[in-house]
Copies of this chain bind each other. A is one copy, B any other.
Amino acid sequence: MKFGGTSLGDVERMHRAARHIRREHDAGHEIAVVVSAMAGETDRLAALARAVSPMHDAREYDAIVATGEQVSAGMVAIILQKLGVQARSWQGWQIAFNTSDDHGAARILGIDTALLNERLALGQVAVICGFQGIGPDRRVTTLGRGGSDTSAVAVAAALGADCCEIYTDVDGVYTTDPRIVPRARRLARISYEEMLEMASLGAKVLQTRSVELAMTHGVRLRVRSTFDEPDGRPSDIPAFDAGIGTLVCDEDEIVEQHIVSGIAYARDEAKVTLLRVADRPGIAAGVFGPLAAAGINVDMIVQNVSHDGRHTDLTFTVPKSDLDRALATIEAARDVIGYERLSGSTDIVKVSVIGIGMRSHAGVAAQMFHTLAERGINIQAITTSEIKVSVLIEAAYAELAVRALHSAYGLDAH
């Protein structure tokens, strides 16, 4: 069971989280809990470290920011004891939760489970500090922001848990953003692959890294609301009842597969266009080499057919925050590349249709293009993978496009 910062934002919410834990404990489950710092605490600690030096030693930064989880783990353990549930807190080094020494972005190397298993077998709930570990130099490490989801999946994998429940401020994964489409539906189940696409394409329910880890180790994840009635029915793990939250699992476990599971959108990309580039071998390397060297990730790339056999237009996207640097990098290489005009735009949105059913079902992309064309929405670029189709459109059409696609693929709630 993993509780994030919002779920532990104050003493009252911590009690609510503890009652969720008690319910599962009383049902006879062995429980490891992974906690984040109380909401706002990691930011406060990071600001302290920055205040003394913006170029701080990452090892000291980790030692400072990791304290937030130590406080919330101790508090949750105390509340559980008060509720009559045996519990103790575990810091990364006590377990040990072994990581690499890449401070601030440490990789998980392995989790010692002997001590944890011994205590779990005695009915003691393990309240584990998320986000932190211990490096080979015996110093405190952190996994990077949002790392507590990843900690939880790693602990679940190491313990061979039946399930990893992620308690958060939404009650599951939706077919799309309910703020845009009121008729969006909660998905009872979604495959890891789809969840990965949803996560990396803008749905903020789970960290991409945690979903990857869950997929690799076959950890069944359930995303559910921390605001549910905590004294209700405990999780029936073998049957994994579909009534609560969303189960993220292997596609084999999804009995009734949809062709399309969800529509995602992302506003954090910007578009770069080079007009009348010389159309000769090596031109792509000439453009994308310098961008890669500058550490700028390029996402979608569209190269038009040549106008005259000698020139072509080139369009690609970069993260919005890197647009200025990307333009300056291209500008600096203008003589080598050779182009007539360079322009950048942030007035775009990427809309994606996601579904494992696409693998065996033709016509999904065609339906997408047709739906958008019907609404008069111009497609500026397209990319596809085995289980998704993404298009770049003008930002103003984002909501219209998402709603139209949600209806077109039959995702609207009845």
Residues of chain A touching chain B, judged by Cβ–Cβ distance below 8 Å, are 11, 14-15, 45, 48-49, 51-53, 55-57, 59-61, 63-64, 66-67, 70-71, 73-75, 77-79, 81-82, 88-89, 91, 93-94, 138-140
Contact = CB atoms under 8 A, between A and B. Distances in A.
Contacts of A61: 74, 78
A89 B75 contact: no
Given A51-B11, A63-B89, A63-B91, A56 B71 contact: no
B49 A74 contact: yes
Contact of A52 (B66, B78, B93): B78
A387 to B, nearest CB: 44
Q: Looking at A45, A71, A82, A140, which has the most chain B CB atoms within 10 Å of its CB?
A: A71
A113 to B, nearest CB: 16
Given A57-B81, A64-B70, A89-B60, A75 B94 contact: no
B60 A77 contact: yes
DSSP majority for the A interface? helix
Contacts of A89: 60, 63
Given A59-B88, A60-B74, A139-B94, A81 B67 contact: no
Contacts of A49: 74-75, 78
Contacts of A45: 71
Contact of A70 (B56, B63, B82): B63
Contacts of A15: 52
Contact of A71 (B14, B64, B94): B64
B74 A53 contact: no
Nearest to A69: B67
Count of identical protomers in the assembly: 2
Nearest to A10: B51
A134 to B, nearest CB: 10
A82 to B, nearest CB: 5
A56 B76 CA distance: 11
A48 B60 contact: no
B53 A63 contact: no
7 contacts: A49-B78, A60-B75, A60-B77, A60-B88, A64-B70, A64-B75, A67-B70
A75 B59 CA distance: 11
Given A60-B89, A64-B70, 16 more contacts: A11-B52, A49-B74, A52-B78, A52-B79, A53-B78, A57-B77, A57-B88, A60-B77, A60-B78, A60-B88, A61-B78, A63-B70, A63-B73, A64-B75, A66-B70, A67-B70
Contacts of A75: 48-49, 52, 60, 64
A233 B82 CA distance: 55
A189 B15 CA distance: 54
Contact of A82 (B53, B77, B91, B94): B53
Contacts of A48: 11, 71, 75
A81 B89 CA distance: 32
A79 B53 CA distance: 7
Nearest to A81: B57
B78 A74 contact: no
Q: Looking at A57, A59, A63, which has the most chain B CB atoms within 10 Å of its CB?
A: A63
Nearest first, the 8 A-B pairs at minimum CB distance are: A67-B67, A64-B74, A60-B74, A63-B74, A56-B78, A53-B82, A60-B77, A60-B78
Nearest to A45: B71
A57 B15 CA distance: 16
Contact of A81 (B53, B91, B138): B53
Contacts of A91: 63, 140
Contacts of A70: 63-64, 66-67, 70
A96 to B, nearest CB: 10
Contacts of A74: 49, 60-61, 63-64
A89 B52 CA distance: 15
